[in-house]
Chain A
């Protein structure tokens, strides 16, 4: 243990944690799960949903784990009958103003609220009363907003203001009518939004979803392939969500060292080009001023013969290649090797300089 650490016990188990950790952070590091809906590790502690309440020895009321700092020798229990009862009530209250239409909700299978309702065996019937009945908002190309499904955890608002610092949305209105929205409830446009979809990625329910992926498959039906973005040189990671050999959408990889789940408009929404009908799908050979489709064998034979002929006739110094900053390391290495070995010159360069 260093002087920046201290010791607490969680559910009877001794845990060494950072001096400035919250109980929730200490528990996460120790692999102990505490339920929460308003927490996102990229954001400041908020204490909104109260689901992360825990029992701390010597304190006669439950404390929210996400906003309570650890102290030396603190004894924490993350579960007991009282805590479970309170959590059930909290979930019931959330469901009392929620459509509870999971069967057709885009978020089913990937929804924090659905998972906790299932885990705690709670339905929406305990508290009946007034419910929101607001229309779905699809006023922009990328982000669908179903206010009825919002649980007011504030994650969308906080990520927009704390991480992106775009200030697109905030909690608007008072009391029962407060909800995340843009200034003056204007449609999202480039005047007020960057379309990074950070709000969508952090939303624990179906309130904010990616418009382009709606209806195209449940989260659990997608093959998720972790990869590196092909736009700028930052090198963000994300998951390509694939179904039937088609990229349906992009979701965040929260453990990525470069971007921690954060993405921009291009990374999150710029994938349509992959399946564009304008993709070149076969080799094309120019004959008489226009291009004609050809097979790989025909095209590669032609290229190989022509390059060999040019090298023989004019020497390797008259032939070369440009490599690509958009291709992989392996491909850049191979192109350099090809020019040096198969052609025999050093006439190889890349577009890094332009």
Chain B
């Protein structure tokens, strides 16, 4: 999200889901919505039924890739080279939107100079995609009236994740495909309230509403409302806190509804950190890998047990309504309030609506939002005032950067941090399947889902399976430099030769024992989408 924020202004999707059926050309990049976001896929399928052209950039032959007009089957980690190559083809052919570039962007000359280094021959080599497909994708995307790029975690979960998102913004900007209905960039978020959790301040460098702690004016506003002095020093990112824990430098940690001991990469490292912290409190609805390390576990309330709001991937703030009483007696907002009061900073909220009113007073993009206004389908931020209807399309006039111009970013191909070698010859891609969710703590307790998908399966191409003499259902050992797991194999042409795929939904096959410690240096997002592994058939 930092990528889009740098290029365009806000770290959020630019358009709305309901605009998708009118797309002329859809560019789906690093996203498998039929599995990870099924209802988004319904909107996209409506576009396909209406005759939209489809370009898919994905190393896996997904449902959408099978139906694509052009499938860019790029090698994992070659996203920037792919985008630079497409932009270069567009510029060489004069297919760019000159008026848009002149009026609404800056930094074009730097971009132009950079992408010239990415001629077809080089891009073909770096990405593994044929030049005909690159040219056809560039033509389809640039010639469309309404073109939308929909991207997922296949873009961000790389060490170059932020730059990958900037590279995507470059492509949309050269074609002028931003700021109109059905025309823009939609980033699909993994968990239900990723957008809201980012918007509302649990970030080390920004106060709620992306207002920097380093900015005196922002601090002053919050200091006045909260009645405390706020440190101007940005805090530590979660990964940095864990690093400090491991070194014995971090003393107390409160983990709310998160399971880093299963979902973070390179788990042995994470476990060491959680063992080392002096006092660990974990609040969750179930015992997880992380609660094992806690000194105190607090029960959490499920979404059915509390009032509140979630913000979805199209910036829509929607109500969560209490259907049953919290099984443990209290929801998280009540627990945090009581804990804070006990620590000498009183919080006296009687209902989450009061918290939202406080948010509205401090966070301009949520300024007009209150529970009374959320009863008919929610509101999309920015919604600055009580009479503002919300925003379905961002950047119709100006980008939210200083000066109102979008910025081209000249980027270099870097590749994945860990590439296959003789010892670890396969690229492991991790991701999701439709039936399960995240660490499986919820879906793993749905008997019907466990009946359908009881265990982890390693997806492998028929070619690789044949070479290793592996059949469907055989057990294998998958090992990386960091760890190993044993799983059954599913042979499928969804995987291309050389690439294998695992989810991270199952506790009995922790795929993040394998994933690498490499991260995007800007956001700290781990490189879940690519690490090197070896596979050995088990007797």
Using a CB–CB cutoff of 8 Å, the interface residues on chain A facing chain B are 141-142, 162-165, 189-190, 194-196, 212, 223, 225-237, 240, 242, 245-247, 255-259, 262-267, 269-274, 276, 278-286, 291, 296, 299-304, 306-308, 310-311, 313-314, 316-354
Residues of A within 8 A of B329 (CB): 296
Q: Is the CB of B253 within 8 A of A326?
A: no
Q: Is the CB of B321 within 8 A of A285?
A: no
Q: Is the CB of B352 within 8 A of A280?
A: no
Segment with Cβ contacts to A, from B88-96, B198-206, B495-503: B198-206
Residues of A within 8 A of B18 (CB): 257-258
Residues of B within 8 A of A257 (CB): 18, 316, 377-378
Q: Is the CB of B235 within 8 A of A320?
A: yes
Q: Is the CB of A345 within 8 A of B231?
A: yes
**Residue among A235, A291, A343 facing the most chain B CB atoms (10 A cut-off):** A235
Give the residue name and chain of the A residue nearest to B321 (CB).
Answer: A227
Known contacts A330-B359, A349-B241: A314-B324 contact under CB 8 Å: no
Q: Which of B233, B284, B324, B441 contacts A242 (CB 8 A)?
A: B324
**Residue among A194, A223, A258, A281 facing the most chain B CB atoms (10 A cut-off):** A258
Q: Is the CB of A330 within 8 A of B308?
A: yes
Q: Which of B191, B208, B233, B335 contacts A233 (CB 8 A)?
A: B191
User: What is the CA–CA distance of A270 and B192 in the complex, to the nearest angstrom?
Assistant: 14
User: What is the CA–CA distance of A267 and B378 in the complex, to the nearest angstrom?
Assistant: 19
Segment with Cβ contacts to A, from B292-300, B412-420, B468-476, B477-485: B292-300
Q: Is the CB of B446 within 8 A of A269?
A: yes
User: What is the CA–CA distance of A257 and B284 in the complex, to the nearest angstrom?
Assistant: 30
Give the residue name and chain of the B residue nearest to A291 (CB).
Answer: B297
Q: Is the CB of B241 within 8 A of A347?
A: yes
Known: A283-B299, A329-B317. 10 other contacts (CB 8 A): A232-B191, A233-B188, A233-B312, A240-B323, A264-B38, A266-B434, A283-B297, A285-B296, A307-B343, A346-B204
Q: Does B344 interact with chain A (Cβ within 8 Å)? A: yes
Q: Is the CB of A272 within 8 A of B447?
A: yes
Question: Nearest-CB distance from A310 to chain B (Å)?
Answer: 4
Give the residue name and chain of the B residue nearest to A257 (CB).
Answer: B377
Q: Is the CB of A280 within 8 A of B337?
A: no
User: What is the CA–CA distance of A200 and B517 in the complex, to the nearest angstrom?
Assistant: 44
Q: Which of A321, A346, A350 contacts B234 (CB 8 A)?
A: A346
Give the residue name and chain of the A residue nearest to B201 (CB).
Answer: A336
- Which chain B residues in 310-326 approach chain A with CB under 8 Å? 310-314, 316-325
Q: Which of B237, B256, B446 contacts A270 (CB 8 A)?
A: B446
Q: Is the CB of B192 within 8 A of A230?
A: yes
Give the residue name and chain of the B residue nearest to A302 (CB).
Answer: B296
Residues of B within 8 A of A276 (CB): 286, 445
Known contacts A318-B250, A346-B205: A256-B446 contact under CB 8 Å: no
Q: Does B133 interact with chain A (Cβ within 8 Å)? A: no
A-B contact pairs, 6 of them (CB 8 A): A280-B284, A319-B253, A320-B250, A336-B203, A336-B207, A337-B226
Q: Is the CB of B445 within 8 A of A278?
A: yes
Residues of A within 8 A of B195 (CB): 233
Question: Nearest-CB distance from B455 to chain A (Å)?
Answer: 13
Q: Which of A223, A226, A273, A338 contacts B442 (CB 8 A)?
A: A273
Question: Nearest-CB distance from B64 to chain A (Å)?
Answer: 11
Q: Is the CB of A235 within 8 A of B318?
A: yes
Residues of B within 8 A of A334 (CB): 333, 336-337, 340, 347, 355
Q: Which of B38, B196, B308, B331 contacts A196 (CB 8 A)?
A: B38
Question: Nearest-CB distance from B173 to chain A (Å)?
Answer: 24
Residues of B within 8 A of A304 (CB): 339, 342-343
Q: Is the CB of A348 within 8 A of B38?
A: no
Chain B 37-66, CB-CB to A under 8 Å as 1, else 0, gives: 111101001100100000000000000000
Using a CB–CB cutoff of 8 Å, the interface residues on chain B facing chain A are 1, 17-18, 36-40, 42, 45-46, 49, 188-205, 207-208, 213, 222, 226-228, 230-231, 233-238, 241, 244, 249-258, 260, 263-265, 278-279, 281, 284-287, 291, 294-300, 302-306, 308-314, 316-325, 327-333, 335-340, 342-345, 347, 352, 355-356, 358-359, 376-378, 434-435, 437, 441-443, 445-449, 451-453, 523-526, 528
Q: Which of A274, A282, A311 contacts B328 (CB 8 A)?
A: A282
Question: Nearest-CB distance from A293 to chain B (Å)?
Answer: 10
Q: Is the CB of B233 within 8 A of A328?
A: no
Residues of B within 8 A of A284 (CB): 294, 296-297
Residues of A within 8 A of B320 (CB): 227-228, 230, 328
Q: Is the CB of A233 within 8 A of B37?
A: yes
Give the residue name and chain of the A residue nearest to B229 (CB).
Answer: A344
Q: Is the CB of A300 within 8 A of B304?
A: no
Known contacts A319-B252, A321-B253: A348-B446 contact under CB 8 Å: no
Question: Nearest-CB distance from A170 to chain B (Å)?
Answer: 17
In the A-B complex, the 8 residue pairs with the closest CB atoms: A235-B312, A328-B308, A141-B448, A346-B235, A233-B189, A324-B257, A323-B202, A264-B38
Question: Nearest-CB distance from B314 to chain A (Å)?
Answer: 8
**Residue among B189, B203, B208 facing the most chain A CB atoms (10 A cut-off):** B203
Known contacts A257-B18, A280-B286: A240-B304 contact under CB 8 Å: yes
Q: Is the CB of B238 within 8 A of A318?
A: no
Question: Nearest-CB distance from A169 to chain B (Å)?
Answer: 17
User: What is the CA–CA distance of A322 and B280 in the complex, to the nearest angstrom?
Assistant: 11
User: What is the CA–CA distance of A318 and B191 in the complex, to the nearest angstrom?
Assistant: 28
Q: Is the CB of A300 within 8 A of B191?
A: no
Residues of A within 8 A of B244 (CB): 318
Residues of B within 8 A of A336 (CB): 200-203, 207-208
Q: Which of B193, B194, B296, B528 contacts A286 (CB 8 A)?
A: B296
Q: Is the CB of A246 within 8 A of B324?
A: yes
Residues of B within 8 A of A310 (CB): 251-252, 278-279
User: What is the CA–CA distance of A344 and B232 in the complex, to the nearest angstrom?
Assistant: 11
Question: Nearest-CB distance from B328 to chain A (Å)?
Answer: 5
Known contacts A324-B257, A327-B256, A354-B260: A347-B236 contact under CB 8 Å: yes
User: What is the CA–CA distance of A266 and B449 in the complex, to the nearest angstrom?
Assistant: 9
Question: Nearest-CB distance from A256 to chain B (Å)?
Answer: 6
User: What is the CA–CA distance of A267 and B317 in the complex, to the nearest angstrom?
Assistant: 18
Q: Which of B198, B314, B316, B332 contacts A331 (CB 8 A)?
A: B332
